[in-house]
A and B are shown apart, each in its own frame.
Chain A
Amino acid sequence: MADTALRVSAASSADKRSGLQKLMQRKSTIAFLMTLPLIVLIFTLVAYPAGYALYLAMLNKAMTKFVWFKNFDFLFSRDTFWMVVWQSCLFAISAVVFKAFIGFVVAHLVNNIPGKKQRKWRGMLLVPWVIPAAMSTLSWLWLFDSSYSAFNWLLEPLGIGPIPWLGETGWARFCVILVNVWIGAPFFMIMYLAALKSVPEQLHEAAEIDGASWWQRIWYINLPMMRNIIAITALFSTILTFANFDIVRVLTRGDPLNTTHLFATWAFRLGIESGDIPLGAAVSLFMVPILAVGATIILRDINKRGSEV
């Protein structure tokens, strides 16, 4: 006993002499030093631009004066702003619902294709997702073109049209959603297909013996077993869709009358094209809280489910 007490006191007096050395040997210090590069990286790539955007959003148009929250006040008072909020929500939610639904159905169809053929189909169905969105949107632009629309040409013999695809608010909104679904659905398909493959075949056999029809097996077995992937994919895609820029930019540029603008495209219109950078920054900042809520839900969900399974 006495012996150990002696040694401890000796050790502590030695520690006092080299405080820095002790600090260096503490585990938390080492951990901090090792994560320092990452912290610096995050700061320069995330915190600094975010702070700068916040700062920009509080300047006047000529960027000469600090005006606090005037820009936000101005936005709230404009109808276009509320329309962009509404359009962004409509766009994101309906596009994700359709992508999820189509992805789910196609995943089941593909999963029922036997063996080698399945690989081919999987590859082909992924094409829309793999092509750079701006490029494929350009092809869609030609398909919707007001004078040369291939769709109108096909519909004409049926006595339908000509439809002003991109010229009328309702149709234009339909078109941007359609193109987004076309590009995004394969991602859902591949995620759901992977989830589907992880449902053990025996559960289906057990359910079949328990008397479940094909439809009941999807409802009672596949759907609950794929719940995690369905939720995470949908939330993830909601964030990306919400922040979409390229499709709207290429297809409609926000027209007609700004009715197809999303936050990102409207911010671009105001900030870059109209030269009011602070106002554009203010608009783009509105995405942050909405996306933050989404991201938090995803992360919490993954954590919770992770400990559950």
Chain B
Amino acid sequence: MAQVTLRKVVKKYDEVLAVRGIDLDIMDKEFVVLVGPSGCGKSTTLRMIAGLEEITDGDIAIGGDVVNDVPPKDRDIAMVFQNYALYPHMNVYENMSFGLKLKRTPKDIIDQRVRQAAQILDITELLDRKPKQLSGGQRQRVAMGRAIVRDPKVFLFDEPLSNLDAKLRVQMRTEIKKVHQKVRTTTVYVTHDQIEAMTLADRVVVMNGGNIEQVGPPNELYHSPKTKFVAGFIGSPAMNMVPCQLEASGDALKVRLSDTLSLAVPASRTARYRPHVGKPGLLFGLRPEHLTETRPHLEADMQTFDVKLDVTEPMGMETLVYFAINGIDICGRVNPNAGARESQTMKLCADMANMHLIDDKTEQVL
């Protein structure tokens, strides 16, 4: 049982700075997900925790001990790789017991642990098979079994689900969550899929370009992103961002999106936003689900306006509508029965209580 600490960790490959000095504290038994676009340094970070990459600068501690110079075999960690990396010449039982065998664990204890893990993962009947006789999902389970059996201080996952088809991915996601509830080991999980991150994590770490953009519980990242990148990366469809001007009219503030369209800022935000009145390069951010069809009883901060729809995408339980303001495509999510038609005008309602104001220059959310 262990916490993992990263202090100013830097990784340089020749001239490429893959990780630019990140700090991260992972609690005991916590499930932390590193998420970010491809090439942002997630795998590198994970591999440095595993000890598969040397760190260029900084410190990594597992369970309070600095492990910078400890080889992987002595770090007491387990890792699940994207393509599973099962030993092809060993059957499932041998794959799972390999680590224990190397530690000279008594045979009966190995057997007990392997069968227990196999039961948790529901692969008991596969124990005699070779990896190539298994489906992708089964291999995935075996790879997890190999990690569980060892009972390590930390689990590391590097995009474990990205080789599975969409349906299986959702299924295995739930499975991983269940396993973590049963086994309760500190887990660091890497993915580029923000939905996976949101659904699995106790805390999400959003990375971009070798830096950590923001760390927090999924809901916090979703509702209070700190940077433009996080605001745009978390959530699907992505948050709408439109260049705007912040105007004062008396005590109230307004965001002007176009010559004809301006929306009032909720009173609760005026104090926060007032210093930015007239600032150039502001972006108005609003998630698609806060842009809906109008309703009979509008709440205080909801405002309606008419738009001409370009495209509608019926999704079944909702319909996505697209329109443009000053050439920027904007997405809204309306009730399928609200009568959205392509190339027709529709009255939409913006929930301004959930608006964000972003400074495009500093890329910070104001």
Shortest Cβ distance from residue A206 to the other chain B in the assembled complex, whole angstroms? 4
Contact among B74, B81, B103 for A202, CB-based, below 8 A: B81
Check A208–B71 contact: CB distance below 8 A: yes
Check A206–B73 contact: CB distance below 8 A: no
Check B81–A206 contact: CB distance below 8 A: yes
Which single residue of chain B is at the shortest CB-CB distance from A201? B85
Report chain B residues within 8 Å CB of A202: 81, 83, 85
Instruction: Determine whether A200 belongs to the interface, using a CB cutoff of 8 Å to chain B.
Output: yes
Check B71–A205 contact: CB distance below 8 A: no
Which single residue of chain A is at the shortest CB-CB distance from B81? A202
Give CA–CA (A227, B90) in the complex, Å: 13
Check B50–A209 contact: CB distance below 8 A: yes
Which single residue of chain B is at the shortest CB-CB distance from A223? B89
B interface footprint on A194-226 (CB within 8 Å = 1, 0 otherwise)? 000000101101111111110010001100110
Contact among B50, B81, B88, B103 for A211, CB-based, below 8 A: B103
Check A212–B50 contact: CB distance below 8 A: no
Which single residue of chain A is at the shortest CB-CB distance from B132? A309
Report chain B residues within 8 Å CB of A200: 85
Shortest Cβ distance from residue A73 to the other chain B in the assembled complex, whole angstroms? 49
Check A213–B85 contact: CB distance below 8 A: no
Check B81–A220 contact: CB distance below 8 A: no
Check A213–B79 contact: CB distance below 8 A: no
Contact among B87, B89, B103, B132 for A206, CB-based, below 8 A: B87
Shortest Cβ distance from residue A216 to the other chain B in the assembled complex, whole angstroms? 6
Give CA–CA (A309, B130) in the complex, Å: 11
Which single residue of chain A is at the shortest CB-CB distance from B82? A202
Check B71–A210 contact: CB distance below 8 A: no
Shortest Cβ distance from residue A238 to the other chain B in the assembled complex, whole angstroms? 24
Shortest Cβ distance from residue B162 to the other chain A in the assembled complex, whole angstroms? 15
Which residues of B approach A to under 8 Å, CB–CB?
A: 50-52, 71-75, 77-79, 81, 83, 85-90, 98-99, 102-103, 132, 146, 150
- Some 29 contacts from A to B, beta carbons below 8 A apart, are A202-B85, A205-B50, A205-B81, A206-B79, A206-B87, A207-B87, A208-B52, A208-B71, A208-B73, A209-B50, A209-B52, A209-B75, A209-B78, A209-B79, A210-B73, A210-B98, A210-B146, A210-B150, A211-B73, A211-B74, A211-B102, A212-B73, A212-B102, A216-B102, A220-B87, A220-B98, A224-B90, A227-B89, A309-B132
Using A206-B85, A207-B98, A208-B52 as known contacts, list a sample of 9 further A-B pairs with CB atoms less than 8 Å apart, ordered by residue number in A.
A203-B87, A206-B87, A209-B50, A211-B102, A212-B98, A216-B102, A225-B89, A227-B89, A309-B132
